[in-house]
Amino acid sequence: MQAGSEQLGSPCEQLAPLLHGAEAANRLGISVAAVLPAGGSGERMGGGTPKQFCNILERPLISHTVQAFERVTWIRDIVVVVTEDNLDLMKSIIQQYGHSRVTLVEGGATRHRSIFNGLRAFAENKPLGFQLSKPEVVIIHDAVRPFVDEDILFKVTTSAKECGASGAIRPLVSTVIASTPDGCLDHSLERARHRASEMPQAFAFDIIYQAYLQCSDYDLDYGTECLHLAQKYCNKKAKLIEGSPDLWKVTYKRDLYATESIIKDNLLQQVCIITDMKEDTVQVGFLLHEILKTQVKQVKGISSSLCKNVHHLQNMFTEQCFNFIGINDKDSNFFGTQHIVDVLKSTSLAVLYPVVLVSVHLIVSENMSYSSRVEELSGIRELAKEAKKKNILVYGLLMDYTKDNLRLRETVTQGTTVITALIKDRSPGLIGQMLVV
Amino acid sequence: MQAGSEQLGSPCEQLAPLLHGAEAANRLGISVAAVLPAGGSGERMGGGTPKQFCNILERPLISHTVQAFERVTWIRDIVVVVTEDNLDLMKSIIQQYGHSRVTLVEGGATRHRSIFNGLRAFAENKPLGFQLSKPEVVIIHDAVRPFVDEDILFKVTTSAKECGASGAIRPLVSTVIASTPDGCLDHSLERARHRASEMPQAFAFDIIYQAYLQCSDYDLDYGTECLHLAQKYCNKKAKLIEGSPDLWKVTYKRDLYATESIIKDNLLQQVCIITDMKEDTVQVGFLLHEILKTQVKQVKGISSSLCKNVHHLQNMFTEQCFNFIGINDKDSNFFGTQHIVDVLKSTSLAVLYPVVLVSVHLIVSENMSYSSRVEELSGIRELAKEAKKKNILVYGLLMDYTKDNLRLRETVTQGTTVITALIKDRSPGLIGQMLVV
- pLDDT string in tens for chain B (437-residue length): 334 433 333 333 333 344 445 565 556 789 999 999 998 765 555 558 899 999 999 999 999 999 999 999 999 999 999 999 999 999 999 999 999 999 999 999 999 999 999 999 998 765 555 678 999 999 999 999 999 999 999 999 999 999 999 999 999 989 999 999 899 999 999 888 899 999 999 999 999 999 999 999 999 998 889 999 999 999 999 999 999 999 999 999 999 999 999 999 999 999 999 998 888 999 999 999 999 999 999 999 888 877 776 677 777 776 789 999 999 886 556 788 888 898 888 888 899 999 999 999 887 765 555 556 666 667 889 999 999 999 999 999 988 888 899 999 999 999 999 999 999 999 999 999 989 88
Identify all chain A residues contacting B44, using CB atoms and an 8 Å cutoff.
6, 245
Percent helix, strand, coil in chain B (nearest 5)? 45, 25, 30
Residue B96: CB atoms within 10 Å: 12
Domain that holds residue A198: 13-263
Q: What Cα–Cα distance (Å) separates residue A246 from each residue in A149, A249, A290?
A: 9, 9, 32
**Coil vs helix vs strand at B20:** coil
Q: Which of B218, B235, B261 is the last residue of a domain?
A: B261
What separation, in Å, do the N-terminal and C-terminal C-alpha atoms of chain A show? 32
Q: Does B302 touch chain A (CB under 8 A)?
A: no
CB–CB contact B169 A177 (8 Å): yes
In chain B, the residue whose alpha carbon lies closest to the alpha carbon of A142 is B174
Q: How many helices (H) and strands (E) does chain B have?
A: 15, 17
Alpha helices (runs of H) in A176-296, residue ranges in sequence order: 205-214, 217-222, 226-234, 253-267, 279-292
pLDDT score for B437: 87
How far off is chain B from A112, nearest CA to CA, in Å? Answer: 14
Cα B114–Cα B115–Cα B116 angle in degrees, nearest 5:
90
Q: Report the C-alpha gap between B40 and A174 in whole angstroms.
A: 15
- Same domain flag for B33 and B110: yes
**Coil vs helix vs strand at A300:** strand
Q: Which of B47, B178, B251 is opposite residue A173, by nearest beta carbon?
A: B251
- Same domain flag for B85 and B218: yes
Q: Which of A218, A247, A263 is the last residue of a domain?
A: A263
Q: Does B208 touch chain A (CB under 8 A)?
A: no
CB–CB contact A262 B240 (8 Å): no
Q: Report the C-alpha gap between A183 and B239 in whole angstroms.
A: 6
pLDDT score for A309: 67
- Same domain flag for A88 and A143: yes
Phi-psi bin for B235: left (phi > 0), alpha (psi -120 to 50), beta? Answer: left
Is residue A119 domain-resident?
yes
In chain B, the residue whose alpha carbon lies closest to the alpha carbon of A370 is B370
Q: Which of A238, A263, A288 is the last residue of a domain?
A: A263
Q: How far is CA A10 from the centre of its chain?
A: 17
Please check whether residue A234 is in contact with residue A207, taking contact to mean a CB–CB distance below 8 angstroms. Answer: yes
CATH number for the domain including A373?
Answer: 3.40.50.360
- Same domain flag for B284 and B216: no
Q: Report the C-alpha gap between A397 and B374 in whole angstroms.
A: 15
Q: Report the C-alpha gap between B170 and B182 in whole angstroms.
A: 30
Note which residues in 366-405 of chain A have CB less than 8 A from chain B: 368-370, 373, 377
Cα B360–Cα B346–Cα B343 angle in degrees, nearest 5:
30
Q: Report the C-alpha gap between A60 and A36 in whole angstroms.
A: 15
- Same domain flag for B394 and B422: yes
Taking only the tens place, the pLDDT of each residue in A314-347 is: 777 767 899 999 998 865 567 888 888 988 888 8
- Same domain flag for B250 and B274: no
Non-local (6+) Cβ contacts of A19 within 8 A are A150, A151
Q: Does B255 touch chain A (CB under 8 A)?
A: yes
Fill in the DSSP letter of residue A143.
T
Using pLDDT thresholds of 50, 70 and 90, give the confidence band for residue A66: very high
Non-local (6+) Cβ contacts of B406 within 8 A are none
Is residue B99 domain-resident?
yes
Q: Does A365 touch chain B (CB under 8 A)?
A: no
Is residue A191 domain-resident?
yes
What is the per-residue DSSP string for A111-140?
A: HHHHHHHHHHHHHS--TTS--PPPPSEEEE
- Same domain flag for B106 and B236: yes
Q: Which residue has the higher pLDDT, A19 or A47?
A: A47
Q: Which of A175, A185, A189 is opposite residue B231, by nearest beta carbon?
A: A185
CB–CB contact A228 B188 (8 Å): yes
Is residue B135 domain-resident?
yes
Is residue B1 domain-resident?
no
Identify all chain A residues contacting B167, using CB atoms and an 8 Å cutoff.
185
Backbone angles phi, psi at A76, to 5 degrees: -80, -55
Is residue A311 domain-resident?
yes
- Same domain flag for A274 and A189: no
CB–CB contact B430 A435 (8 Å): yes
Q: Does B335 touch chain A (CB under 8 A)?
A: no
Backbone angles phi, psi at B132, to 5 degrees: -80, 145
- Same domain flag for A366 and A417: yes
Q: Report the C-alpha gap between A6 and A120 in whole angstroms.
A: 36
Among A5, A184, A266, the strongest candidate for a mutation testing the B interface, having the largest count of B CBs within 10 A, is A184
CB–CB contact A188 B430 (8 Å): no
Is residue A45 domain-resident?
yes
**Which residues make beta-bridge pairs with B268?**
none
- Same domain flag for A45 and A168: yes
Q: Single out the residue of A6, A26, A208 nearest to residue A119, CA to CA.
A: A208
Q: Which of A45, A186, A240 is opposite residue B179, by nearest beta carbon?
A: A240
**Coil vs helix vs strand at A235:** coil
Q: What Cα–Cα distance (Å) separates residue A235 from each residue in A113, A210, A227, B181?
A: 21, 11, 10, 18
- Same domain flag for B330 and B282: yes
- Same domain flag for B430 and B308: yes
- What is chain A's Cα-based Rg? 26
Note which residues in 217-236 of chain A have CB less than 8 A from chain B: 222, 224-225, 227-228, 231
CATH number for the domain including B230?
Answer: 3.90.550.10
Taking only the tens place, the pLDDT of each residue in B177-197 is: 999 989 999 999 988 889 999
CB–CB contact B189 A194 (8 Å): yes
Contacts made by residues B94-102, CB under 8 angstroms, sequence distance 24+ = B94/B66, B96/B351, B97/B59, B97/B63, B97/B66, B97/B67, B97/B351, B97/B352, B98/B348, B98/B351, B99/B63, B99/B66, B99/B67, B99/B70, B100/B70, B101/B69, B101/B70, B101/B75, B101/B76, B101/B77, B102/B66, B102/B78
**Sign of the C-alpha dihedral, residues B209, B211, B217, B223?**
negative
Is residue B4 domain-resident?
no
Q: Which of A8, A225, A429 is opposite residue B421, by nearest beta carbon?
A: A429
Residue A81: CB atoms within 10 Å: 26
Please check whether residue B90 is in contact with residue B105, taking contact to mean a CB–CB distance below 8 angstroms. Answer: no
Residue A82: CB atoms within 10 Å: 27
Number of domains in chain A: 2
